[in-house]
Amino acid sequence: MTERAVGRRVFLGMLGLGAAGVLTGARIQNAMSKVLGQLTAHDPTGLSTYIPAAGRFRIYSVTNSLPHRSDAEYQLTVGGMVERPMQLSFADLKALPATHLVKDFQCVTGWRVAGVKWTGVLLSDVLDHVGVKPGGKALLFKSFDGQYTESLTMTQARRPDVIVAYAMDGDTVSQMHGGPVRMYIAPMYGYKSTKWLASIEVVNDVIPGYWEVRGYDVDAWIGHSNGRSDQPV
């Protein structure tokens, strides 16, 4: 009777495949995303979006449940170093000039959702609406999840691709995606775009946000931060 060391081969084979996968996975994933993009677009069950690399949103929340606020009860507090601190309702935001963007959403963990349709108010317009006092150099965003915070410099906040979003892909922003109102900061990684936006405060210096005190870059330019080189948005 001959005996063969099959177990060891299976074990070593897996290590080899694992290493090969790390080296070539990015290319395989790109190729697959193209094929899967077609598939998931025509999949009524939505199950195919769970295949790795299917180019879908993954829902990240730092608190124990998704916070909920209806459109009717929603209030955005804008305050700090401003001339006219105010509370903006959902209707108030919609009454301001709307900005439409069609841009990708890129997560710092690697996934990217292509061509998302965003609608909202330019953050710059909101700031003009309340009037920034001299000395207001940065912004502090807070989420009504009670935990999450984010930051931007005033220069970053004035960009034409930074909006307070109230619609996404032709619908209101769902609870999962941070509705009723969230930030969308196109040129930066997703963690900069605060979901379930509660307040915007004008401050005199940048206060690093939730993930930034946990090691992520404060200036989170896509492709030029966090050691990544993704295609900028």
Partner 1 sequence: MAVATSPSDVLIRFDRVERYVHWINATLFGACIATGAALYVGPLSAIVGRRELVRTIHVYSGLALPIPILIGLFLSAGFRADVRRFNRFSDADRKWLRRKVRRSSGSYGLGKFNPGQKLNASFVAGAIIVMAMTGSIMHWFEPFSDSWRTGATFVHDWLAFAIVIVVIGHLRFAFGDPDALSAMRRGTISRKWAQDKAPVWHDELVEPPPPPPPPPPLLVKRLPDRQPSDHKRTEPPER
Q: Which residues form the interface with partner 1 (CB under 8 A)?
A: 1-8, 10-15, 17-18, 21-26, 28-29, 50, 52-53, 56-66, 109-110, 175-176, 214, 226-230
The answer to whether the CB of 59 falls within 8 A of the CB of 176 is: yes
Q: How far apart are CA 214 and CA 147, in angstroms?
A: 13
DSSP string, 210-225: TTTTTT--SS-BTTSS
Q: How far apart are CA 195 and CA 178, in angstroms?
A: 4
Find the length of the chain.
233
Residue 23 beta carbon to partner 1: minimum distance, rounded to whole angstroms: 6
Closer CB to partner 1, residue 41 or residue 97?
41
Q: 52 preceded by cis ω (within 30°)?
A: no
Residue 78 beta carbon to partner 1: minimum distance, rounded to whole angstroms: 27
Closer CB to partner 1, residue 125 or residue 221?
221
Closer CB to partner 1, residue 129 or residue 228?
228
Closer CB to partner 1, residue 14 or residue 95?
14
The answer to whether the CB of 142 falls within 8 A of the CB of 176 is: no
DSSP string, 128-149: HHH-BPTT--EEEEEETTSS-E
Residue 92 beta carbon to partner 1: minimum distance, rounded to whole angstroms: 28
Residue 15 beta carbon to partner 1: minimum distance, rounded to whole angstroms: 6
